[in-house]
């Protein structure tokens, strides 16, 4: 089997390590030539997960045509805002039936599309597409720390193919036919994690973070339910599981971004300082736009957007959220039509 992994950031490097460890031939596309050269010479990524030694079955290339030509399947591991661009680059070299799985977590700005919808628009043949999402920090997966994830596919056969491909002794893979719920859960939880980080930055305690996570999960499931997702998906690894780890982990870029901003930093300065992409910064806009367009209320998401881009302060947002009118807890959780 030959697999093309598109993206050599932390998660792409971890995926290459995981698949290469199963003696799968991996062609890892790196945008930066120096990354490809280092991986081929010393089996290390010089910028991401620097202490991880990649198997000899992993080879890297800065040419996307070289990566995907002849591949039996493709794994897309770029930031969500780059998915359309790499799909357009891949399209001339990719057969119509080659299975493609997306690991980016986001909603495209402007269109409101999920990532598999973007891939379908560019590559065609929805049945060969899938998405993977779960509590999977690259730093832990690449060290063999026991982890689990979910593969959601439009075709049962494609879901099983990717389940078998990713399954490893320290990486357990479940399938779920709810592509909408898995994708939207992965995108929307990043915004809630930014809010959780802001809570940390303001010096609040466990009560506050637990409240944000729980009410954040209500927002997530409300959005998903409105878009046709199974509400139960949000109780699983791609929902609650991913939300917990992203809101609490020291590895979480989104939580760290929120803390950074609450202490006076900006989205731009965080990116410059860390050389990392926090998907929640982009998703705060795209998901808030989507929620407004379809007429549902996502107050935490809206406040995160206002803090990141509209000059609002995190402390002001606390007053807005705490001052909302009283409501029944069970309403607005995707279980009934009323919102709150």
- Supply the residues annotated as catalytic: 189
What is the CB neighbour count within 10 angstroms for residue 327? Answer: 11
Instruction: Report yes or no: 34 and 46 within 8 Å, Cβ to Cβ.
Output: yes
Q: Strand, coil or helix: what is 172?
A: strand
**Tokens encoding 96:** 């119509």
Tell me the longest C-alpha to C-alpha distance in the chain. 61
129-133 and 147-153 beta bridge pairing = antiparallel
> In 205-285, which ranges are E strands?
none
Residues near 224 by Cβ (< 8 Å), separated by ≥ 6?
180, 181, 184, 185, 188, 230, 231, 233, 234, 334
Phi and psi at 8, nearest 5°, equal -115, 35
Give the residue among 212, 140, 130 at the shortest CA–CA distance from 174. Answer: 130
Q: Strand, coil or helix: what is 95?
A: coil
Residue whose structure tokens are 């795209």: 286
Distances (CA, A) of 134 to 47, 66, 148, 226, 291: 24, 29, 7, 21, 23
Q: Strand, coil or helix: what is 114?
A: strand
CA distance between the termini of the chain: 49
Q: Is 334 left (phi over 0), alpha (psi -120 to 50) or beta?
A: left
């Amino acid at each position: 089997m030959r697999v093309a992994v598109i993206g050599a950031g932390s998660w792409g490097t971890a995926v290459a390590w995981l698949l290469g460890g199963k003696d799968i031939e991996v062609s890892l596309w790196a945008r930066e030539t120096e990354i490809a050269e280092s991986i081929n010479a010393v089996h290390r990524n010089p910028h991401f997960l620097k202490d991880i030694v990649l198997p000899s079955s992993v080879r890297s290339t800065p040419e996307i045509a070289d990566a995907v030509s002849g591949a039996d399947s493709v794994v897309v591991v770029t930031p969500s805002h780059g998915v359309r661009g790499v799909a357009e680059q891949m399209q001339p070299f990719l057969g119509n039936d080659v299975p493609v799985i997306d690991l980016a977590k986001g909603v495209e700005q402007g269109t409101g599309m999920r990532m598999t919808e973007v891939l379908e628009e560019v590559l065609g043949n929805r049945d060969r597409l899938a998405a993977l999402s779960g509590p999977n920090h690259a730093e832990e997966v690449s060290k063999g720390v026991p982890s689990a994830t979910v593969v959601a596919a439009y075709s049962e056969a494609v879901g099983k193919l990717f389940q078998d491909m990713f399954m490893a002794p320290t990486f357990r893979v479940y399938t779920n036919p709810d592509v909408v719920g898995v994708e939207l859960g992965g995108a929307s939880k990043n915004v809630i994690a930014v809010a959780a980080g802001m809570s940390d930055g303001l010096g609040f305690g466990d009560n506050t973070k637990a409240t944000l996570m729980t009410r954040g999960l209500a927002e997530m499931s409300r959005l998903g339910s409105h878009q046709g997702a199974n509400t139960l998906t949000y109780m699983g690894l791609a929902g609650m599981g991913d939300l917990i780890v992203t809101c609490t982990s020291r590895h979480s870029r989104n939580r760290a971004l929120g803390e950074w901003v609450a202490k006076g930093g900006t989205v731009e300065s965080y990116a410059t300082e860390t050389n990392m992409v926090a998907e929640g910064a982009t998703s705060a806009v795209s998901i808030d736009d989507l929620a407004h367009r379809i007429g549902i209320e996502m107050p935490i998401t809206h406040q995160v957007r206002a803090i990141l881009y509209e000059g609002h302060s995190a402390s002001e947002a606390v007053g807005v959220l705490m001052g909302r009118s009283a409501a029944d807890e069970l309403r607005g959780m995707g279980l009934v039509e009323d919102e709150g």
